[in-house]
Amino acid sequence: MKQIALVLFIGFAVSLCNLSERLHKGGSGSGSNSAGGVTDNAAKPERAQPSAAQSAALSGGSEAKWDRQGMSFTVPPNWTETQQESKNLTWRSPGAGAASLIVSISPMGEEFPVDASIQAFYDGAKTRAQNGEVDELKWVEIDGVKGVQFREAVPEQPDGHRRLQWMAYRKYTGQVQMVNVMLASEGKDFERHKDAMYGILYSLKLAH
């Protein structure tokens, strides 16, 4: 589990480095229709709506509550919490080839350029899509919060990790926060976990 989390957070760190470079260049311009059919940060986001299969994957499940951050998810039966700290939450499915839910909160300063930042995340994912590294990209609103959702393409190696990720900003208890939700498994197991992953993501409830 620690190895999976490490790999995923290394990927997240790389995305933050890309964000820093884009913000330094003033990268808050519009995108194009080339990735995900979404134009720019002014575009109306798709509202998260689980399919019948995604809802069914959570049937009989339980609520994963993160009271310190005013957040909750619905997870499938037998998923267990493996970490809950002030800024990190992790749940995991049972058995071999498991899937993971990894949520992180990053506090930002009051003057942090939220609009430019979220656009930079979108633009970075769009570049990855053009390079064949991402096969789904769109703006998605979950529980009233607009964010960037992307899914990584099938990895070259079956045991390579594949992520479904949603990133957004909110103001919670007077603090600007980046909310980073990742659902992941090894590439060879992604399809059998996919409905549950989307169901979990779209079940998110968050105070803001």
Distance, CA of 80 to CA of 135 (rounded, Å): 29
According to DSSP, the residues that pair with 166 across neighbouring strands are 149, 181
Q: Which residue has the tokens 């009271």?
A: 67
Domain over 2-206 is classified CATH 3.40.50.280 = no
Alpha-carbon Rg of the chain, whole angstroms?
Answer: 16
Output the CA–CA distances (angstroms, integers) from residue 36 to 81, 88, 135, 165, 194, in the order listed. Answer: 32, 29, 8, 14, 18
Per-residue pLDDT for the chain (208 aa), expressed as one digit of tens each?
A: 444 443 344 344 444 444 444 344 443 333 333 333 333 555 789 999 999 999 999 999 999 999 999 999 999 999 999 999 999 999 999 999 999 999 999 999 999 999 999 999 999 999 999 999 999 999 999 999 999 999 999 999 999 999 999 999 999 999 999 999 999 999 999 999 999 999 999 999 999 8
**pLDDT tens by residue, 87-121:** 999 999 999 999 999 999 999 999 999 999 999 99
The residue extents of the domains of the chain are 2-206
Which DSSP state fits 203? Answer: T
Distance, CA of 160 to CA of 57 (rounded, Å): 24
**CB of 175 closer than 8 Å to CB of 41:** no
**pLDDT tens by residue, 21-34:** 434 444 333 333 33
CB count, 10 Å around CB of 128?
A: 19
Structure tokens at 114: 């939220």
pTM: 0.82
pLDDT of residue 42: 54
